[in-house]
Amino acid sequence: MKHGREVLAVVTGKVLAWLSLGLIWGATWLFIKIGLADVPPFTFAAIRFFIAAVPLFVLLRVRRTPLPRKMSDWVLTVGTGVLGFAIGYGLVYWGEQHISAGLTAILFTTYPLFGLVFAHFLVPGEPITMRRLGGVVLGIAGVALIFGEQLTLGSSGAVLGSLAVVVSAACAALSSVLIKARGGHLDPAFLTVAQILTGAVPLLVVGLLLEGSPFDLHWTPMALISLAYLAFFGSSLAFVIWYWLIRAIKVTTAQLLPFVNTLVAVVLGAVVLDEELGWRALAGGAAILLGLAVALVPNGRRRQAA
């Protein structure tokens, strides 16, 4: 009986962590969009990550977390920090200037589909089957439908913004899969703060070169509220939960989060920002989510047979 309660507690903890992360990250698209109304993208992202690193650094000091001794661990941490944070978040912040928060979330939903492909080559035991390949093809079709709408509208900024978000999703997926494959032994708090700082420095340099000094920008109350949410909830808390999840469950299961993220983002965008999505964007989003369901939801018949 005691063992059963312990198992139930562990499973419940994983489910609650998964749902909480979906809600937190679902709201980040709204706060990014609100902040971008007043603050340029690269500086906004860089300041977010510098602030987010503070509580995590304090946590590391309190816990006296040992630093990795292997050079390969540092190379992995820095490399995934540049890939997932500097490049990935730089692209997504730049892209969301030109498209809605809801559409950004929909396009970023391709993240787990990229993860399936990368995991096939990098994570033992997670091969891409014909069913998963079919899900990836469905997702690609959904992206193509969305891009078709942007081209029809004749907005080059929206097309480039959409492309930036899709490339960002690929970068984030590769970063997570690399951690799953080679960094499962690394402490999640250390990994998060090291990656955040690694990504924040290039973002700040680009921001200084293209956008000027952060002290010369117009930091409105809403921009500051957005910054606080993104730093402390969307980064500090969320990434520690995320890295705990991808160590505790399969990477492909963890990557089902966009089902929650996308719904939250689209609803908040519509309610708070009065965003409207065209039928092709909605159909494309549905195709991407259907592709995720086909690729990642376990086959009930196969599970029963097992």
The domain containing residue 70 runs over which residues? 2-305
pLDDT band at 41 (very low <50, low <70, confident <90, very high): very high
Mean pLDDT of 133-155: 82
Percent of the chain with pLDDT over 70: 88
pLDDT at 3 exceeding the cut of 70: no
Q: What is the pLDDT of residue 210?
A: 96
pLDDT at 140 exceeding the cut of 50: yes
Q: How many residues does the chain have?
A: 306
Q: What is the pLDDT of residue 80?
A: 96
Q: What is the pLDDT of residue 277?
A: 82
297-302, long-range: CB within 8 Å, 24+ apart, which pairs? 297/256, 299/131
- What confidence tens digit (pLDDT) does each residue in 217-234 have? 989 999 999 999 999 999
Q: What is the pLDDT of residue 9?
A: 53
| Contact status, residue 158 vs residue 99, Cβ threshold 8 Å | yes
- What confidence tens digit (pLDDT) does each residue in 255-281 have? 667 778 888 898 899 899 998 888 888
pLDDT at 296 exceeding the cut of 90: no
pLDDT band at 10 (very low <50, low <70, confident <90, very high): low
Nearest-angstrom CA–CA distance, 306 and 302: 6
Quote the number of domains for the chain: 1
pLDDT at 67 exceeding the cut of 60: yes
Q: What is the mean pLDDT of the chain?
A: 86
Among 14-18, 130-134, 196-200, the minimum mean pLDDT is found in: 14-18
Nearest-angstrom CA–CA distance, 159 and 148: 9
Among 126-130, 139-143, 162-166, 248-252, the minimum mean pLDDT is found in: 248-252
Mean pLDDT of 58-83: 90
- What confidence tens digit (pLDDT) does each residue in 81-132 have? 999 999 999 999 999 999 999 999 999 989 888 988 999 999 888 888 888 8
Q: What is the pLDDT of residue 251?
A: 58
Percent of the chain with pLDDT over 90: 44
Q: What is the pLDDT of residue 302?
A: 45
